[in-house]
A and B are shown apart, each in its own frame.
Chain A
Amino acid sequence: MSSTTEQSTQRRDASAHDRRQSGAVWPLVAKREIMVKLRDKAFIGGTLFSLAIIVGVFGFQAWNAERDRTYDIAVTSESTQMGQTVREAAPTIDDAVTVELVQVSDDAAARAALDEGEADAWLHPGDAGWVLASTSQVSSQLLAVVQPTVTQSVLESNAEAAGTDVAALQQGSEVTTELLEGDEDRRGLAQAAGIVMAILFYMSAMLFGMTLASSVVEEKQSRIAEIIAASIPTRQLLIGKLVGNVALALGQLAIYVAVGLIGLSFTDLGGLLPSLSAGLLWFLVYFLVGFTCVAALFAVAGALASRTEDVQSTATPVTMLVLIMFFGSFFVGESARAVMAWIPPFSAIAMPVEVVAGEATWWEAVLALVPLIALTAVVLWAAERIYRRALLQTGGKLGYRQAWRAEV
């Protein structure tokens, strides 16, 4: 911190009190905000807990995808041959699936085998085709193996009976899919990533916003704000508190995002990482600006309160705004979201979601940042005025309009 060293050098060669400039002291305030939070056991615990959940989710996904499953299928004499076809075909369709056959004497014995758990399913011919029976639920993984195999096998015998072969029958029937932008996996992932981003934005803005609001009212209530206001301009105090909390929130998010991306790289979707990363970077950029805007409003909410108990009510308009931003980003239709992506402060969540979904390009993201930054600047200016006026009022809870007009 060069400004402090500069100040201390200044003070050694002069004895008058005006030797020190009231330069930028906000780094001191920001540093305190961050240090206090980093030593807060609840904060550290909560962050570690969230990380554990992220790691756990990806760990489970990876484990679930990797593990081998063996299915026991009950077959009677009339389905033995089809069962053997399925058993042989299974590994070629899904290498994690192994099918074992349980030979039973008749239908009754097959049902008994299902009831007693000796078999997972019972394959038998039905009135108009084949039936894969199970007690309560047919495993989709198993069905995915059985269905095409049985279909193929029946087709082959039918074709033979008709004096032709399957290849001839299928000639020209194939429909292949082609996505001009991205593919199926990417689309699903983008949707999931969009929701996760919106949730992260919401949670982080609420957590750090409320923390900021209550730390402001704490200072106001204990009158330490007066001691500080007598030492430094309140603007510096506000800047320091905003910088500290935005840095903390952004840092926490960046860690979550990084761990999430690393986790993703261990799953089958790892190949989509590059396209997703760009969107997530935009998410962090938009969060930086969007949360600065929201944080300034939370600081105002804190300054309007006179006791910690008041914060809930003074912060209500701000929490409503964050809620609308949250829902506005993915509960509206795609065309509405494309509009929201340009309107601040909703663009703070909507635009990165659009980028991840492949709906917006990088230059659109750059452009949409302009109105968001402009709004944030206006909010900061207004917030500073209200904060400065409200912070030193001692007469109880204030309204926004009242504080705006309050005499200093």
Chain B
Amino acid sequence: MSTGHTPPTAIHVEELTRRYGDLVAVDQVSFTVPGGQMTGFVGGNGAGKTTTMRMIMGVLGIHGGRVRWGDREITTTDRRGTGYMPEERGLYPKQKVREQLIYLAQLKGMSASEAKGEVTEYLERLGLAERMDDTVESLSLGNQQRVQITAALVDQPSALILDEPFSGLDPAAVDSMADLLREHTARGVPVLFSSHQLDLVDRLCDRLVILAGGQVRAEGTPDELRQGTALRYRVVGVSDVGWVRDVLPDGGGGGRVLDVDGSTAVVELAGDPGADQQVLDRLVSEASRRGGLRELAPIITPLSEIYREATA
């Protein structure tokens, strides 16, 4: 294994802008990819994710703004040490898997023998030991994907910029891939990956950047993003829970009842910690008076909802 590249404390994207003719594809986009963390990059088609990533990697010209590597401007050398996986899938279709991974690693500056050792190790870990000498085109799409990710991971990259790395992978493969990425974040490497699969992003990433129409709509940890959203609780009683309307009457303070269906109700609290606690206590005492309480639990707002709100 090579000694690896030194990761930056963070990659700062500052007011990056890219135009295609009159269209502003990326409009003053700023966000941070901290070292040692997985940052999910979400947004619909045409939101500007790929364009932003290509600008970070220097394969597309920057029309405005800059990319900082720690506390200085990013350099070609920094980019050479960065593992990059572009949007489109495909290496050289007719070349053998291991051979072309070694070639790509050599282009990054590794020696042939170093590259061979590291590539072989990765392929074995990804369950591709027996396919190393097959051509890329003979592999299934999922396996091609693994090879593609391996190309980004060799040579102990100092940062990882991955465009849709999980698309086309089955759940088990997603998990093993995520484990691999975590090894790199454990070294302090900043990882930026884009994805359409929000549940997966929710599960894997430490931070989130939501992009829409070429602009950043939200950025932060999932918890931070949820803070702005309403606090909801599910109340399940032994019998009918229509009484929650007495605890939280319409127009009364402290919150509101969103839904009552037999023994289950959903309530939304005001978001004031002191008042919220009082409401919860009243719900518990009222329930025990009216036959008993089965469940009183906060509803975690799904990321998809945060995303819909952010991009609305």
Q: Does A405 contact B (CB under 8 A)?
A: no
Q: How far is A20 from B107 in the complex, measured between Cα atoms in Å?
A: 11
Interface residues of A in 370-396 (CB under 8 A from B): 392, 395
Give per-residue flags for B68-96: 1 if the beta carbon is below 8 A from chain A beta carbons, else 0: 00000001111111101111111111110
Nearest residue (CB) in B for A7 is B109
Q: How large is the interface on B (under 10, 10 to 19, 20 to 34, 35 or more residues)?
A: 35 or more
Please name the 4 residue pairs, one residue from A and one from B, whose CB atoms are nearest each other, closest first. Answer: A222-B90, A8-B111, A17-B5, A17-B81
Q: Is the Cβ of A227 less than 8 Å from the Cβ of B80?
A: no
> Nearest Cβ distance between residue A34 and chain B, in whole angstroms?
13
- Decide if the interface of chain B is mainly helix, strand, loop or mixed: loop
> Nearest Cβ distance between residue B116 and chain A, in whole angstroms?
12
Given contacts A226-B54, A392-B59, contact A28 B107 (CB under 8 A): yes
Interface residues of B in 1-25 (CB under 8 A from A): 2-6, 20
In the complex, besides A4-B112, A20-B77, 13 extra interface pairs with C-beta distance below 8 angstroms are A4-B111, A15-B6, A17-B158, A25-B107, A29-B107, A221-B90, A223-B88, A226-B84, A226-B86, A228-B104, A231-B80, A231-B108, A232-B80
Q: How far is A108 from B103 in the complex, measured between Cα atoms in Å?
A: 82
B84 contact from A16, A218, A219, A227, Cβ within 8 A: A227
Q: How far is A408 from B58 in the complex, measured between Cα atoms in Å?
A: 10
Give per-residue flags for A4-45: 1 if the beta carbon is below 8 A from chain B beta carbons, else 0: 110110011001111010100100110010001000000000
- Decide if the interface of chain A is mainly helix, strand, loop or mixed: helix
Q: Is the Cβ of A8 less than 8 Å from the Cβ of B59?
A: no
Nearest residue (CB) in A for B58 is A230
Residues in A whose Cβ lies below 8 Å from that of B6: 15-17
Q: Is the Cβ of B4 less than 8 Å from the Cβ of A15?
A: yes
Q: How far is A325 from B112 in the complex, measured between Cα atoms in Å?
A: 42
Q: Does B269 contact A (CB under 8 A)?
A: no
Q: List 20 A-B contacts (CB under 8 A).
A: A4-B111, A15-B3, A17-B77, A20-B80, A25-B107, A28-B106, A28-B107, A218-B92, A221-B90, A222-B91, A222-B92, A223-B86, A226-B57, A226-B59, A226-B86, A227-B152, A230-B57, A230-B84, A231-B80, A408-B60
Q: How far is A12 from B104 in the complex, measured between Cα atoms in Å?
A: 19
Q: How large is the interface on A (under 10, 10 to 19, 20 to 34, 35 or more residues)?
A: 35 or more
Give per-residue flags for B95-119: 1 if the beta carbon is below 8 A from chain A beta carbons, else 0: 1000000011011111110100000
Nearest residue (CB) in B for A215 is B92
Q: How many A-B residue pairs have CB under 8 A?
A: 101
Give per-residue flags for A221-239: 1 if the beta carbon is below 8 A from chain B beta carbons, else 0: 1111011111111000000
> Nearest Cβ distance between residue A349 and chain B, in whole angstroms?
33
Q: Does B266 contact A (CB under 8 A)?
A: no
Nearest residue (CB) in A for B79 is A230
Q: Does A407 contact B (CB under 8 A)?
A: yes
Residues in B whose Cβ lies below 8 Å from that of A11: 2-3, 109-111
Nearest residue (CB) in A for B148 is A227
Residues in B whose Cβ lies below 8 Å from that of A395: 20
Residues in B whose Cβ lies below 8 Å from that of A28: 103, 106-107
Give per-residue flags for A32-72: 1 if the beta carbon is below 8 A from chain B beta carbons, else 0: 10001000000000000000000000000000000000000
Given contacts A4-B112, A20-B109, A230-B80, contact A222 B59 (CB under 8 A): no
> Nearest Cβ distance between residue B66 and chain A, in whole angstroms?
16
Residues in B whose Cβ lies below 8 Å from that of A5: 111
Q: How far is A22 from B76 in the complex, measured between Cα atoms in Å?
A: 9
Residues in B whose Cβ lies below 8 Å from that of A32: 103
Residues in A whose Cβ lies below 8 Å from that of B91: 222, 224
Give per-residue flags for A341-363: 1 if the beta carbon is below 8 A from chain B beta carbons, else 0: 00000000000000000000000
Given contacts A22-B76, A223-B90, A227-B151, contact A4 B106 (CB under 8 A): yes
A22 contact from B80, B93, B106, Cβ within 8 A: B80
Q: How far is A11 from B3 in the complex, measured between Cα atoms in Å?
A: 8
Most chain B CB within a 10 A radius of its CB, from A17, A28, A29, A408: A17
> Nearest Cβ distance between residue B255 and chain A, in whole angstroms?
50
Residues in B whose Cβ lies below 8 Å from that of A20: 77, 80, 109
> Nearest Cβ distance between residue A406 and chain B, in whole angstroms?
9
A8 contact from B84, B86, B92, B114, Cβ within 8 A: B114
